[in-house]
Amino acid sequence: MEFPAFFTLVVMILAAALFISERVRPDLVALIVLVFLGIGGIVTPQEAFAGFSGSAVITILGISILSEALRQTGVTRWLGTHMHRLGARTEKHLILTTLLVSAGLSLLMNNIAVVGVLLPAVLGLARRSHTSPSRLMMPLAYGTALGGMATLLTTANLIVSNALKDAGYAPFGLLDFFPVGAPLVVLGAVYMVTLGIRLMPHYTHEDDTLPQQLHEKLSQLYGLTRRLYEIEVLPTCPLAGQTLREARWLQRTGLRILTVRPQGRINLPPFPGMRVHPGDVLVVQGILQMEQMDALGLRFLRALPDLQPIAESGLALAEIIVSPHGGLIGRTLQEVHFNETYQLQVLGIWREGAPLLDDLGSVRIREGDTLLVQGAAERLHLLRHNSDWIVLEEDPDAPLKPERFGLSLGITALALGTAAFNLLPVSLAVFGGAVLLLLTGCLDMQEAYHAVEWKAIFLIAGMWPLSTAMRTSGLVNDLLQPLMGGMGQLPVWMVALILIVLAFIFTQIMSGQVAALVLAPVAITVASHLHLDARALGMAVALGCSLSFPTPFGHPVNVLVMTPGGYTFRDYFRVGMPLTLLAIVFILTGLHLFWGI
């Protein structure tokens, strides 16, 4: 073994020791690897820093921006709500829902893009269901990897398919991976809800101290559910056709409108210029007087148990306290024009251990009063910069820009669709989508800077030179040469097993894409020398390159969920290694049944 290969091997072993010991942060270890390989002359300065412009890093940058835009416009909240409905019964159902949804999307989308779209939605799902993110982040990452094994559209699968084509063999078709890959999704689902659920960590994060199901909590605290009703506007209503301002709705009915459902459609937030029409369903708060209801052409429908309609409308609830240093003490909400100034509704005032709910506009504000307010999350966000108020609690999942829901969803679909149909490289399509989101105001540049997962960027970019060094130093050839010579005496399934294990090992060090680039020619060469099916051995290599479960470095999606889940290297190994061993058995079985190995 020559010096460059030996030096690379030493750096690789030292890095592995540091990762396992967890005495140094993983992203710092990656930067140490970069510096050592550069100083040792194993890679050039350009190769040392090439990872920062690599496609995986650029894709993560774009996906981080895209994910934050989807969160701020309410798309991920909407997605998380539907996932909660599917899996709200138990933690097992939540894990199963997360894994299957991510696996299903990864059949059609790039794995990093899947995690980028689902990550904020699953975090919201964790908060809504009182579940630690550490219980759902790993199923999210593993689901994308498993789903990718059932489709040609995974990068490693495409690389192997192209290598076969270049060597004169038939490339893989879109569904060639499905017979072997689909049972792996089932395996992963069963494993995660049986053994995996026991092995996964249960970490408590700072986010766990945030209010869970804030609407429910605050509605119970203020007693709003005792005065919460749905009513319908009848054709005889004299207020129909007028705006809320023109009709002086609150003064004439004594009922505060919380949401409006026009003709039974989706809940909408009320605003002074909104017109109420016959057939509209209103969620109101107050004291119902049936005689007055009949006179005004309003029909009682039902009493509501909670404030779920407000959550569905995209409105947020928050508690704010009057600042003792502001100029509002002793004045009424009408005098300070609270609704018009802040575009928020006051639903209750907490004073001396009890809520005030009636005639709030004329109540004089006292020091220590806490107001329960409802409105757009963006308006609540602005209160944090207002010295007159102190925001105590607000919904962490509330969309800041709900009016751009459709725009952000459309741009995201365009970007991911462009990548899925190979019209543009994934990195360029995703980054282009991120730029469009910034140009259209779905996100601003400052928010984009905060959204980027820099730990993932440095970890991937720092480890990138190691894969380059392994190839250019001759270390890969030194490791493969002894194996190549002894394969001729082995049964076919054993040859496939060796290729799968090699692909698995190289994936943890070099990423699945690079491992596929290195091992696809090896599989074709072995098949030619031993007179075996090159496509079957290529399938073994491709699937082995997706076995990214035991370490955070096997695939960028593992890195992306590492911080939200609070995971360590040992967590990945403890949960991922048994799944890897089971997956290898399933892959060999599938290759035997469908590819004759």
445 assigned to some structural domain = no
pLDDT tens-digit series, residues 453-466: 787 788 778 877 88
pLDDT in tens, 500-523: 999 999 888 767 777 887 788 788
Residues 372 and 235 grouped into a single domain: no
Tally of structural domains, the chain: 3
Radius of gyration of the chain (CA): 29
Judgement on whether residues 60 and 93 belong to the same structural domain of the protein: yes
pLDDT at position 365 over 90: no
pLDDT band at residue 187 under the 50/70/90 scheme: very high
pLDDT at 245: 81
Burial environment of residue 533 by CB neighbours within 10 A (0 to 12, 13 to 18, 19 or more): middle
Do 353 and 384 touch, CB atoms closer than 8 A?
no
Which of 259, 290, 312 is where one domain is finished?
312
User: Over 80: is that where the pLDDT of 298 sits?
Assistant: yes
What is the layout of strands, in order, in the sheet containing 281-285?
Answer: 256-261, 281-285, 228-233, 298-303
- The region of weakest confidence among 142-146, 175-179, 363-367 is 363-367
Domain region containing 134: 5-206+452-595
**In this structure, are 202 and 227 located in the same domain?**
no
Q: Is the pLDDT of residue 215 over 70?
A: no
Is the pLDDT at 123 greater than 70? The verdict is yes
Structure tokens at 407: 């725009």
pTM of the model: 0.64
- pLDDT band per the 50, 70, 90 thresholds, residue 210: very low
| Residue 431 is assigned to a structural domain of this protein | no
pLDDT at site 410: 92
Reported as a single tens digit per residue, the pLDDT across 486-500 is 676 788 999 999 999
pLDDT band at 312 (very low <50, low <70, confident <90, very high): low
State the pLDDT at residue 343: 77
Q: How confident is the model at residue 318 (pLDDT cuts 50, 70, 90)?
A: confident
Mean pLDDT (whole number) for 133-159: 88
Whether 21 and 134 map to the same domain: the answer is yes
Asked if the structure places residue 421 within a domain, the reply is no
The identity of residue 70, as a single letter, is L
pLDDT in tens, 551-578: 988 888 888 888 888 898 899 999 999 9
The 10s digit of each residue's pLDDT in 370-407 is: 888 887 777 777 777 777 777 765 555 566 777 788 89
Cα angle 244, 249, 253; round to 5: 160
Q: Which helix (H) or strand (E) holds 229?
A: strand 228-233
Question: What's the DSSP call for residue 315?
Answer: -
State how far the Cα of 251 lies from the Cα of 296, in Å rounded to an integer. 13
d(CA 231, CA 254): 13
Q: What is the CATH number of the domain that holds 339?
A: 3.30.70.1450
Decide if 389 is inside a domain.
yes
Domain boundary among 312, 340, 357: 312
pLDDT at 526 over 90: no
